[in-house]
């Protein structure tokens, strides 16, 4: 009996020692703290799915982006409005046939004032550019058409064009020239807003590249696009020519100043309104009774006021809608 008790006590002692040993073992370390969630850094993209690396216009003194519509005469503004609505008629069919139908109605309702505006713009170009008038006007027309057809802006431009087209149709022809500059600003607004958004995208892209672009190649837009061609100012009315002193335009009916040193002599068979631009004005020799000392006035070149070719405006074919 005594032998069994000692053996039992020995086993209990061994179990106790094992329990004590287990209690003295340190607990395992806690699992490592998970890293903070990774916030993706997304590189800015151009607005309206525009192309990367686009050049945008510079701003003028008024803070607006410089376009071919800035600082134009009323006749030129009306013609640019017509071109903008023509672009809408050709590019806005996916939003309905309204723009196309409006454009054709405008050509019919306001045909006379549009023809007069076109003729006035032709005179402006002939006066400013002479024999290069047609090429200069075609160059600006191309810039204006491409401006209003900028793909990223079309979806914002089309509803504005429809709104302006409705205004043009509801306005008497006699008031079109007065309203044209405001309509042109309204048609240009979506493009001004797009350029502002693109400029902001370039700013955010430059900031992103400075932070995360060490291992990323980013192409930022090149220099700003060159200034667009500028439309000429209003040509003087028909029937006047510069004075021989070159100070200011005078009417043909006005008498020449007594101090004039040269008389403008038109070419044989030509009137003052259709003297070719290549004609050289020759001063007449002074008479013995009214000779004026000093060298004669330099020869001047008269503007070509002959009627230039007209731009034919054709209505667009109507759709079946």
Question: Does the pLDDT at position 103 exceed 70?
Answer: yes
What is the separation, in whole angstroms, between the first and last Cα of the chain?
116
Residue 155 lies in a domain: yes
Residue 108 has pLDDT above 80, yes or no: yes
pLDDT class of 18 with cuts at 50, 70, 90: low
Tell whether 151 is covered by a domain: yes
Q: Could you tell me the pLDDT band of residue 225, with boundaries at 50, 70 and 90?
A: confident
List, for residues 281-294, the tens digit of each pLDDT value: 344 444 343 333 44
> What is the pLDDT, as a whole number, of residue 227?
85
Show the domain range for 184.
Answer: 52-215
Contact 161, 84 (CB under 8 A): yes
What is the reported pLDDT for 12? Answer: 56
Q: In angstroms, rounded to a whole number, what is the distance separating the alpha carbons of residues 102 and 97?
A: 9
How many domains does the chain divide into?
A: 1
**What percent of the chain has a predicted confidence (pLDDT) above 70?**
62
Strand (E) or helix (H) holding 75: helix 74-91
314 in a structural domain: no
Per-residue confidence band for 10, with pLDDT thresholds at 50, 70 and 90 = low
pLDDT of the residue at 128: 94
- pTM: predicted TM-score of the whole model, two decimal places: 0.65
Domain assignment present for residue 95? The answer is: yes
Checking if the pLDDT of 106 tops 60, the result is yes
Q: Mean pLDDT throughout 181-191?
A: 98
Instruction: Write down the pLDDT at residue 36.
Output: 77
| Arithmetic mean of pLDDT over the chain | 76
Average pLDDT of 202-228? Answer: 73
| Burial tier of 150 (Cβ tally within 10 Å: 0-12, 13-18, 19+) | middle
Q: What is the mean pLDDT of residues 162-172?
A: 98
pLDDT at 245 over 80: no
Q: Is the per-residue pLDDT at 27 higher than 70?
A: yes
Average pLDDT over residues 126-143: 95
At residue 31 the predicted structure's pLDDT band, cuts being 50, 70 and 90, is confident
Q: How far apart are CA 164 and CA 97, in angstroms?
A: 15
Specify the higher pLDDT residue, 130 or 24: 130
Residue 255 belongs to a domain: no
Query: What is the average pLDDT across 144-148?
Result: 97
Residue 275 forms part of a structural domain: no
Q: What is the DSSP letter of 231?
A: P
Q: Is residue 66 part of a domain?
A: yes
Range in 129-138, 182-191, 246-255 with the lowest mean pLDDT: 246-255
Which has the minimum average pLDDT: 6-15, 50-59, 69-78, 165-174?
6-15
Query: Mean pLDDT throughout 63-81?
Result: 95
Among residues 250, 246, 257, the alpha carbon closest in space to that of 300 is found at 246
Percent of the chain with pLDDT over 90: 49
Does residue 308 carry a pLDDT above 70?
Answer: no
Query: In the prediction, which pLDDT does 292 show?
Result: 36
> How many alpha carbons lie under 13 Å from residue 275 in its C-beta half-sphere?
21
Q: Does residue 71 form part of some domain? A: yes
pLDDT given for residue 40 in this prediction = 65
Q: Select the highest-mean-pLDDT range: 54-58, 179-183, 206-210, 219-223.
A: 179-183
CA distance to 92, 157, 239, 276, per residue, from 236 (Å): 38, 35, 9, 16
**For residue range 251-284, what is the model confidence (pLDDT) as tens digits?**
333 333 333 333 334 434 434 333 333 333 344 4
Q: Which long-range contacts (CB under 8 A, 24 or more apart) does 270-279 make?
A: 272/239, 272/241, 273/238, 273/239, 273/305, 273/306, 274/305, 274/306, 275/302, 275/304, 275/305, 276/304, 276/306, 277/126, 277/130, 277/131, 277/301, 277/302, 277/303, 277/304, 278/131
Residue burial 198-230, b: 16+ Cβ < 10 Å; e: rest: bbebbeebeebbeeeeeeeeeeebeeeeeebee
| Residue 297 confidence class, pLDDT cut points 50, 70, 90 | very low
């Amino acid at each position: 009996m005594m032998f069994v008790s000692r053996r039992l006590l020995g086993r209990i002692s061994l179990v106790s020692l094992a329990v004590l040993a287990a209690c003295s073992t340190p607990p395992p370390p806690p699992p490592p703290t998970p890293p903070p969630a990774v916030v993706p850094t997304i590189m800015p993209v151009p607005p309206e799915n525009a192309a990367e690396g686009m050049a945008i216009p510079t701003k003028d003194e008024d803070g607006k982006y410089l376009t071919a519509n800035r600082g134009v005469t009323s006749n030129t503004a009306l013609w640019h409005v017509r071109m903008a609505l023509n672009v809408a008629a050709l590019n806005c069919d996916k939003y309905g046939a309204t723009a196309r139908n409006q454009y054709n109605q405008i050509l019919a309702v306001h045909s006379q004032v549009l023809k007069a505006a076109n003729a006035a713009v032709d005179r402006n170009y002939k006066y400013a550019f002479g024999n290069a008038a047609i090429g200069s006007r075609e160059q600006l027309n191309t810039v204006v058409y491409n401006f209003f057809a900028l793909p990223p802006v079309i979806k914002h431009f089309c509803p504005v064009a429809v709104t302006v087209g409705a205004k043009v149709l509801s306005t008497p022809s006699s008031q079109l020239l007065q309203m044209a500059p405001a309509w042109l600003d309204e048609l240009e607004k979506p493009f001004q807003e797009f350029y502002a958004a693109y400029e902001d995208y370039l700013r955010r892209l430059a900031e992103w590249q400075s932070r995360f672009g060490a291992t990323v190649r980013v192409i930022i837009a090149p220099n700003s696009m060159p200034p667009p061609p500028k439309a000429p100012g209003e040509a003087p009315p028909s029937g006047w020519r510069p004075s021989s002193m070159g100070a200011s335009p005078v009417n043909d009916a006005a008498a020449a100043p007594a101090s004039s040193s040269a008389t403008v002599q038109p070419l044989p068979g030509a009137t003052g309104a259709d003297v070719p631009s290549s004609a050289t004005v020759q001063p007449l020799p002074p008479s013995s009774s009214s000779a004026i000392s000093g060298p004669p006035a330099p020869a001047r070149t008269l503007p070509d006021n002959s009627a230039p070719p007209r731009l034919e405006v054709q209505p667009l074919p109507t759709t079946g809608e």
